[in-house]
Structure 1
Amino acid sequence: MNLVNSYLFLLNNVVIWAIFLLAIFCYALLLELCFLSRCSEQWQRKIHDWSGSIKIMLSSLPLLGLLGTISGLLKTFEHMALNKGFALQELMSGGIAEALFTTQLGLVMVIPGLLLFSYLRRRVASWQIRQLA
């Protein structure tokens, strides 16, 4: 429980929430298109309409992680400048932990989305082949 309390400060980061919300939106859309919708012309049109947007949203997850890294490091340097280097260890560890966590989160959250998107593309291709036969 003490470990959880030591990382609660991460919930105050807007970038972390943006990563979570964008990833949840992408996953919900991909899960619906991959597993909940029936293959049809309308399904294929919906995939065609959303395909570009899904790619852009997924590719923005690691970029949001990098944004969090930069903001975490800037926050660390700002605190160091304001406190003239006093309590340096506490300031550095909190800011760097936040910076590295956002990078890791952005990278980790994109992987399942890319796998689902790849599966969806294969499913569309096999449906199109069946339609031609």
Structure 2
Amino acid sequence: MSLFYVISNECQALLGEGGVVLWGILVVGVWLYAMIFSTWCGLQKFESKLDNEFVSDGGAKRSIVREFTVFELDHLAWVERRTPVIGVMVGVCTLGGLLGTVSGMLVTFSNMATLSTASPMEKIATGISEALVTTQAGLLMALPAAFLYALLLRRVAIVRSRAEGKMHAVIRESDMGGCAQ
């Protein structure tokens, strides 16, 4: 058997054990990481435009501040609107794992309560497997995402600070240009 075949079968078995909750966790996880990636890229775009677009043209302080404010609202606000959604999605992954744990325990107790020809261990193993798989999936999605979320928030603060510093530098250049004339 090929390695791909073995991995494929294991993944299918794992997805079957986790039930509907596992699928939900995976969907939210893919959406979460896509949002983190696109937000990080948007922040980098903002930063490169910040470095390239603003030079002193000798304008008034008020017009420079207005120009920076509009620029910031156009670009950085998009990033900052996304960060709370990312934070909520990290929590959703964690809570999805908890929901899977509860769901798996319900399956376990339901199987134990029914009369069937299956052995008691088989009844218990099915529900516990679902509980553990979904708990693990929720944590595996949420923990790295929480770390990336913290890095993203820190990066937003750094870029905002750089934007303010750039604005002040352009104002200083404008003031010096006005004094020399």
Fold conserved between structures, TM > 0.5: yes
Any idea what SS the aligned residue of 1:112 has? helix
Gap change, CA 1:60 and 1:7, over 3 Å in 2: closer
Q: 1:21 maps to which residue?
A: 27
Deviation at 1:35, TM superposition (A): 3.0
List structure 1 runs of 4+ shifted beyond 3 angstroms.
Answer: 5-8
Stretches of structure 1 lacking an aligned partner (at least 5 in a row)? none
1:111-126 alignment runs, 5 A limit: 111-126=143-158
Aligned to 2:177: none
The number of residues matched between the two structures is: 132
What corresponds to 1:83 in structure 2?
A: 115
Letter in structure 2 aligned against 1:34? W
- Give TM-score, length-normalised by structure 2: 0.65
For the residues of structure 2 that align with 1:52 and 1:31, how far apart are their CA atoms?
15
Residue of structure 1 aligned with 2:41, choices 32, 35, 39:
35
Instruction: Tell me the SS of whatever aligns to 2:46.
Output: coil
Which residue number corresponds to residue 9 of structure 1?
A: 16
Q: CA deviation at 1:121?
A: 1.2
Q: For residues 75-116 of structure 1, what are the alpha-carbon distances to aligned partners after superposition, in whole Å with 9 as ceiling and x for unaligned?
A: 111111112685111111121011011111111110121122
Which segment is superposed worse, 71-80 or 45-54? 45-54
The answer on whether the counterparts of 2:28 and 2:93 sit within 8 Å (CA) in structure 1 is yes
Bigger drift between 66-75 and 118-127 goes to: 118-127
**What TM-score does the superposition give when structure 1 sets the normalisation length?**
0.86
Distance 1:8 1:62, change over 3 A: closer
Among all aligned residue pairs of Structure 1 and Structure 2, give the percentage whose two residues are the same amino acid. 33
Give me the whole-angstrom Cα distance separating, in 2, the residues matched to 1:105 and 1:81: 28
Question: Where in structure 2 are the equivalents of 1:23-102 lying within 5 Å?
Answer: 23-35=29-41, 38-39=45-46, 41=72, 42-83=74-115, 86-102=118-134
Residues 49-58 or 60-69, more deviating: 49-58
Once the two structures are TM-superposed, the CA of residue 43 in structure 1 deviates from its matched residue by 3.4
Quote how far apart the aligned CAs of 1:44 are.
1.4
- Report the AA paired with residue 122 of structure 2: E
Other structure's SS at 1:124 match:
helix
Q: Distance in 2 between matches of 1:36 and 1:53?
A: 15
